[in-house]
Chain A
Amino acid sequence: MAATLPPISGGSGGLKQGQPVQFSPSPPKGPPSGRLKPLKRGKGAREGVQPEKPRSQQPMLTKRQTTAYRNSYKHNLCVEMLTEGYHRSFCELFALIHRQEEERLRAGPESLLWSMTLLKDQHEKLDMLKTHLTRMEYSARKGDFYEVYKSRFELARYFQQTGDKWLADHFFMTCLQTSTNISNDSGKTQAEGYCNVGLAQEDNGEYYHAMENFEQYYKLAVTNKDWITADNRTFHTDACIHLSRIYNTIGTLLEEEEEDKNEMLEYLKKAYDMAQESEIHMLTGEAVYRLGLAYEMNGDAETALLHLNNYLAICRNADDNDGIGKACDAIAKALERDGKVEKSIEYLKQFVQVAEKSGNEQAYSKACHNLGIIFNKLGNYEEATKSFDKAYTLARSMGDVTSINVNRVQFGIAMAHKMQTGVARHIVMNSRQALERIVEWKSSRLDEFEKPFPEPVKLVPRPLTPKELSKPIIEEEEEEAPEENQQEEEERKENTFTSTADTDTHTETTESG
């Protein structure tokens, strides 16, 4: 077997016999080329540069050294472990390597797995595995399962850091198995094991399995409230948090799949219960909010309002402006669906206020937008335009493309609605001036329908040539180019430049009216 070993730094850490085995091939040697002066020989510092001794003078290599050179790193490592009597570690390591190879084969050469470095070529990880596995086998032989657990846990953490998910999962799983053997701590390690496995599974997307594990965790934690995790939380709270989160996730999942609505509500309710049990307000609020939204989607506005008001109260307590905003928004929506529009507006206004106060532009923009929509629906176009205007400006200042576009369209629609009455009136008036104004508007798009006609009585009897007629109106326009509307004009011009869709909506809505 011709060994193609990459250079390995130092011997593997596990050699205790004191006989150093060099796994790495020796550095390139040879006499220096003719031109260069031979290097000064420091006192023993430059031994690597010395010309190679003839083979006969070199020391005989021991069998271990030759096999170390001849065989693969994995082979040497395994043999090392076995020689020291750690056969279970060997089995485990071997199985792991084998599993990865099989998975790779199954995935085929076109998959991502194919190009990844295999475990057996990652010497650092192999060494890590070896030290910990042997240590845990030693402890297991002595019957000290807590040590075993600790070693496994450490390995799991290590592989979590290096990003080898499957290895981390494996060790978390075995952690759990080991923890069943630890009898003298009434299941604390087992609880930890359940928690870790649950987290790993959640990460893998196996939510239902994760849920089961978290439930086990919770069961153990509930009876022992004095256990405390590393970040100074009781296990109980921790379990509640995890459970609440996983229930929420499952609930959302069900929502996306549009399966059984009741089941979804069931999960969200469970999440809420758990959140309440954890006594963390933020979490409770979040859960309540989700629940409220779900009810609202389900068409049960009353229950939804109940939960959402609850959320609002929690947010008020916590002084969480974003939360209050969200709550107001959701409540407004629910109310609107319920048909209580005025109340809805009230809440939305609150939302706007809160958002303004908190300085959260995104929320502010959203609030204005929602308010605008409701005004628009109610036919209060004046207010609607104002709100959309605000929303649009905010969106532009944030540079959020979708929100800019949405608000732009809505702004246009609201303005069109606003103008509609004026245009309609002019059409109905059926006077020449009115008609001209419409024509004028067609070409320049200036909103002047609200203005009174200059002197309608004078103009009517004396017919004018179209040129003469057009002049004074233009002058008028120039004179009275309204300051209030200046901003709007600019924007509208911009609109016509940037997006034709907007003008289309303008004209469409106006013409249809």
Chain B
Amino acid sequence: MTLNPLANPKGVNLLCELCQKPAFIQCTKCRVTYYCGVEHQKADWLGIHEKVCQNLISLRQNEPFLASEEERQNRQRQLLHKKKAMIDLTRTTGQKLLFEGKHEQAVPAAMQSLRFAIDVHGLASIELVPSYLILGEASIGLGRLSQAEEYLAQAQWTVLKTPECSNSIKSRLYRNLGLLHAAKGEYDESLRQLANDIYHASEEFGTDDIRTSGGYFHMGNVFYRQGRIDIADSLYRQVTDIWYTHLYKIVKIRTRTPATPKGIGPLISETSEEEEEGLDEAQEAEAVQVLNALYDLREHQPNRQPQDLATVCHALAMLYFVLMDINKAKEFGRKAVVASEGHPDDNLSRSIVEFMKTCDRVPAPPTKD
């Protein structure tokens, strides 16, 4: 639906959602979002608007007239609650898009989350940092390094000013700084930042957590680019192992569920569903990206150890199993079997075979879920 800025009521400036220039189009679904052109509308739609379109209506409507103070406060509370939910949603989406490599699309989501965060927490709050970080990462991905540096500097400043800032935020900040320096080609500085990332992540989650593994992975990449292959190799191995153990745990819990007596029915499966530590969307995307990268690497490595390839394949197979993509899971499972044939005595090959069996067994039940 087109608009003419000149036709707007006096004092009302409708601005584009992305570039803050005078708007000429309006989203027909929510009618509260405006764009300067079709291009930006499309970008926003793909990035985030599709998910938040309906939610925006209640947030952007003018405040209705409410008679009592109590009602007004109630509405305030609800709004705040909704906004916080929106921050989470937009951030996870942005992060996921980043892991999928769609940096362009991640920008609108990050902007949106930043806007909500500023709205809720104010300008100088530590809560803005994650949004800055996503923006920074997206900018790095798009090759806009100076812009990225700006975002990250903003984030770092906020972190420095907030001594009680949590380790997880610090870790992500340093990770992004590391990526930035790596993109600039300053490998030493990049390593330093990534080391800081790993340190903080370990403080928060432990050294062998999947949330720490990202740091190792990026560090591995840097070493790889520096040509220190043996170190990179060892780092990649650790990343693989971390994901492997994590996925193995999840698969074990999932496959154990049918073993419990089925008579009690859905109740049991629901409770066990809750206790398992699943992957959120961003983590799924990260797992897919990291493991596939590792798989490519291992496959083309000339003097690899067969075990490495087998582990990666098995981890990937389990990942796809968790993501309910049984066909892919089987495919990688077969690859894992082939790769592990050099080590017939290993624990690994035994668990792979076991896993393949469960794969064959499973297809019927998960479609129900």
Interface residues of chain A, those whose CB is within 8 Å of chain B, are 1-2, 63-64, 67, 75, 78-83, 85, 87-88, 90-91, 94-95, 98, 141
Chain A residues contacting B163 (CB-CB under 8 Å) are: 1-2
Given contacts A85-B231, A91-B207, contact A79 B219 (CB under 8 A): no
Once the chains bind, are A82 and B195 in contact (CB under 8 Å)? yes
Which of chain B's residues 174-223 have a Cβ closer than 8 Å to chain A?
188-189, 191-192, 194-196, 198-199, 202, 206-208, 216, 219, 223
Given contacts A90-B198, A91-B208, A94-B207, contact A83 B235 (CB under 8 A): no
- Which DSSP category, helix, strand, loop or mixed, fits chain B's interface? helix
Once the chains bind, are A141 and B230 in contact (CB under 8 Å)? yes
Chain A residues contacting B231 (CB-CB under 8 Å) are: 85, 141
Given contacts A94-B207, A141-B230, contact A82 B199 (CB under 8 A): yes
Give me 15 other A-B pairs in contact (C-beta within 8 A), A79-B196, A90-B198, A91-B238 excluded.
A78-B199, A82-B191, A82-B198, A82-B219, A85-B228, A85-B231, A87-B234, A87-B238, A88-B234, A88-B238, A90-B202, A94-B202, A94-B207, A95-B207, A141-B231
Q: How far is the CA of A333 from the CA of B146 in the complex (A)?
A: 95
Q: Closest approach, in angstroms, between the C-beta of A119 and any C-beta of chain B?
A: 15
Contact with A along B232-254 (1 / 0, CB 8 A): 00110010000000000000000
In the complex formed, the residue of B with least CB distance to A80 is B195
Q: How far is the CA of A416 from the CA of B208 in the complex (A)?
A: 80
Chain A residues contacting B202 (CB-CB under 8 Å) are: 90, 94
Q: How far is the CA of A410 from the CA of B255 in the complex (A)?
A: 78
Q: How far is the CA of A88 from the CA of B189 in the complex (A)?
A: 21
Q: How far is the CA of A496 from the CA of B235 in the complex (A)?
A: 84
Q: Closest approach, in angstroms, between the C-beta of B303 and any C-beta of chain A?
A: 13
Given contacts A85-B231, A87-B238, contact A75 B199 (CB under 8 A): yes
Q: How far is the CA of A94 from the CA of B198 in the complex (A)?
A: 11
30 CB contacts below 8 A, A to B, read A63-B189, A64-B192, A67-B196, A78-B195, A79-B195, A79-B196, A79-B199, A82-B195, A82-B219, A83-B191, A83-B192, A83-B195, A85-B191, A85-B223, A85-B228, A85-B231, A85-B234, A87-B198, A87-B216, A87-B219, A87-B235, A88-B234, A88-B238, A90-B207, A91-B208, A94-B202, A98-B206, A141-B230, A141-B231, A141-B234
Q: How far is the CA of A374 from the CA of B51 in the complex (A)?
A: 101
Q: Closest approach, in angstroms, between the C-beta of A66 and any C-beta of chain B?
A: 11
Q: How far is the CA of A78 from the CA of B192 in the complex (A)?
A: 10
Chain B residues contacting A98 (CB-CB under 8 Å) are: 206
- Which DSSP category, helix, strand, loop or mixed, fits chain A's interface? helix
Q: How far is the CA of A83 from the CA of B187 in the complex (A)?
A: 10
In the complex formed, the residue of A with least CB distance to B164 is A1
Q: How far is the CA of A64 from the CA of B208 in the complex (A)?
A: 27
Chain A residues contacting B207 (CB-CB under 8 Å) are: 90-91, 94-95
Q: How far is the CA of A341 from the CA of B199 in the complex (A)?
A: 77
Chain B residues contacting A80 (CB-CB under 8 Å) are: 195
Q: Closest approach, in angstroms, between the C-beta of A180 and any C-beta of chain B?
A: 15
Q: How far is the CA of A153 from the CA of B192 in the complex (A)?
A: 31
Given contacts A1-B163, A2-B163, contact A82 B194 (CB under 8 A): yes
Chain B residues contacting A85 (CB-CB under 8 Å) are: 191, 219, 223, 228, 231, 234-235
Q: How far is the CA of A52 from the CA of B238 in the complex (A)?
A: 49
Of B192, B194, B195, B223, the most chain A CB neighbours within 10 A belong to B195
Chain B residues contacting A141 (CB-CB under 8 Å) are: 230-231, 234
Q: How far is the CA of A83 from the CA of B215 in the complex (A)?
A: 12
- Closest 8 pairs (CB-CB, A-B): A82-B195, A85-B231, A79-B195, A91-B207, A83-B191, A83-B195, A78-B199, A94-B207
Chain A residues contacting B195 (CB-CB under 8 Å) are: 78-83
Q: Closest approach, in angstroms, between the C-beta of A166 and any C-beta of chain B?
A: 19
Q: Closest approach, in angstroms, between the C-beta of A445 and any C-beta of chain B?
A: 81
Q: How far is the CA of A2 from the CA of B162 in the complex (A)?
A: 11
Chain A residues contacting B228 (CB-CB under 8 Å) are: 85
